[in-house]
């Protein structure tokens, strides 16, 4: 197997470098602090803000899931995939840039822009993921997919470090990060995302697709309906998607709620939490590469199970953090963060490449639309569970012997159901057919 990456593979990987700045700055760290600051300025209580953050992420994921299913089907026509990719990418970029217009206390405006940026980010990723099959061979899927996540992690740290430098200049020990620091971070993220989208736009081409149609919208809905009717015959793909639906719920929930969890459940300050998230990126870079290399040697199946097992440990430790002596809570949070860094890139990359190895290349966008739907519909439930438990429990604490649980902790422990259930169904999926057998003649299946 060739070790060097082709020009198309490099261009595809570079987009992950660009959009990962959104994942780090907006989804995980600085925007979360920004949004919590706005809600505090508006007079909301911590429990109320946690509920809003959870429901905010759930609603954004719901919208992207619905769009992914419909637009992924339309984008499979030759010449369409790049247009949809560009449209959603620039929607996300413009929404991030517009966050500089948000004033103190305007959390509703910030939430609206977050919706738009998340829709743009997730929508572009449907088509970006589908392009994986256009840029590389089946034998290199694990390697290239892992490289995308890995270089995305390390690449996103450069604009993040620049943002941190400006944020330190605007930092007030008593009031936290000033609005000017947030604005600079948003502009840097938008520019970085734009810059690293250009190689993807100009160098990557759609090699696989369906013949153009005179009525693409109508035909797309017909194809989508036929696929939904036939999906029950694709047992291996369906079971894998169901398993993915469950375990990726926990993964995405931990990603989007990590900063909020640290702010509410540790005594670490804003800057300390941001630096911890930065360390996660450096840990995730080599670990994601290692996941890809080990998948080639010992199999994707074993590495996916190892990733799920790691997340079970993460969830248990995070859920029991409040029961620890005060002096151990911060070290426990740092341990959880480092464990997340070892697994989050690998489990996402290998899920993408394994799924890509099974689906028909000329319907990649449609099938990755289903992939996104199962992922994003799953991600509705995790943040919502945490938000619901926080809302119902309020400031009350459940005590069981030496164990103490707030609503937040109970919500986190609820993620165990998704990881354990996902692992169980994944094992069943792996027993169906050959290890990585591509569906070649989808049209021959009876509806």
**DSSP state, 435?**
T
pLDDT of residue 98: 96
Here the tokens at position 182 are 């947030």
State how far the Cα of 86 lies from the Cα of 127, in Å rounded to an integer. Answer: 9
pLDDT of residue 92: 95
β-pair type (171-172, 176-177): antiparallel
> Is the four-CA dihedral 128, 147, 22, 335 of positive or negative sign?
positive
pLDDT of residue 190: 96
**DSSP state, 210?**
B
Helices (H), 266-363: 270-298, 300-319, 326-356
Q: Which residues of the chain have pLDDT under 50?
A: 1, 435-436, 441-444, 446-447
Enumerate residues 6+ apart whose C-beta is below 8 A from 290: 346
State how far the Cα of 64 lies from the Cα of 59, in Å rounded to an integer. Answer: 9
State how far the Cα of 90 lies from the Cα of 22, in Å rounded to an integer. Answer: 12
Around Cβ 435, how many Cβ atoms within 10 Å?
Answer: 10
Domain ranges of the chain: 10-206+236-437
pLDDT of residue 170: 66
C-alpha to C-alpha distances, 354 to 69, 296, 303, 357, 417, nearest whole angstrom: 20, 11, 11, 5, 23
Around Cβ 335, how many Cβ atoms within 10 Å?
Answer: 16
Got the DSSP string for 31-75?
Answer: HHHHHHHHHHHTT--HHHHHHHHHHHHHHHHHHHHHHHHHHHHHT
Specify the CATH architecture of the domain 10-206+236-437: Up-down Bundle (1.20)
């Amino acid at each position: 197997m060739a070790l060097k990456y082709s020009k198309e593979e490099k261009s595809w990987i570079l987009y992950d470098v660009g959009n990962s700045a959104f994942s780090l700055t907006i989804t995980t760290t600085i925007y979360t602090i920004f949004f919590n600051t706005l809600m505090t300025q508006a007079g909301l209580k911590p429990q109320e803000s946690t509920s809003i953050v959870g429901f905010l992420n759930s609603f954004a994921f719901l919208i992207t899931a619905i769009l992914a299913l419909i637009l992924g089907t339309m984008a499979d026509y030759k010449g369409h995939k790049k247009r949809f990719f560009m449209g959603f990418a620039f929607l996300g970029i413009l929404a991030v840039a517009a966050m500089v217009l948000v004033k103190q206390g305007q959390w509703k405006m910030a939430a609206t822009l977050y919706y738009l940026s998340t829709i743009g980010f997730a929508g572009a990723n449907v088509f970006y993921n589908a392009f994986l099959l256009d840029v590389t061979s089946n034998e290199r899927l694990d390697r290239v997919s892992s490289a995308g996540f890995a270089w995305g992690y390390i690449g996103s740290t450069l604009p993040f470090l620049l943002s941190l430098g400006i944020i330190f200049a605007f930092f007030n020990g008593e009031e936290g990060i000033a609005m000017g620091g947030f604005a600079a971070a948003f502009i840097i993220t938008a520019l970085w995302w734009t810059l690293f989208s250009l190689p993807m736009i100009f160098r990557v081409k759609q090699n696989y697709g369906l013949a153009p149609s005179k009525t693409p919208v109508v035909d797309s809905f017909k194809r989508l309906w036929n696929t939904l009717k036939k999906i029950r015959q694709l047992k291996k793909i369906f079971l894998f998607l169901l398993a993915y639906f469950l375990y990726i719920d926990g993964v995405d929930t931990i990603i989007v709620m990590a900063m909020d969890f640290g702010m509410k459940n540790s005594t670490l300050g804003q800057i300390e939490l941001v630096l911890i998230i930065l360390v996660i990126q450096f840990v995730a870079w080599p670990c994601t590469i290692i996941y890809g290399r080990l998948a080639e040697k010992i199999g994707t199946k074993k590495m996916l199970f190892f990733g799920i097992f790691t997340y079970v440990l993460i969830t248990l430790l995070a859920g029991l953090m409040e029961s620890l002596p005060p002096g151990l809570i911060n070290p426990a949070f740092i341990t959880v963060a480092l464990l997340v860094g070892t697994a989050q890139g690998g489990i996402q990359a290998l899920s993408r490449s394994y799924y890509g190895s099974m689906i028909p290349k000329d319907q990649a966008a449609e099938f990755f639309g289903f992939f996104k739907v199962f992922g994003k519909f799953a991600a509705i439930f995790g943040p919502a569970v945490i938000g619901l438990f926080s809302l119902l429990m309020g400031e009350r604490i459940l005590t069981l012997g030496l164990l103490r649980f707030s609503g937040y902790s109970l919500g986190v422990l609820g993620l165990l159901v998704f990881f354990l259930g996902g692992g169980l169904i994944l094992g069943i999926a792996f027993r169906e057919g050959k290890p990585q057998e591509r569906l070649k003649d989808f049209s021959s299946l009876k509806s």
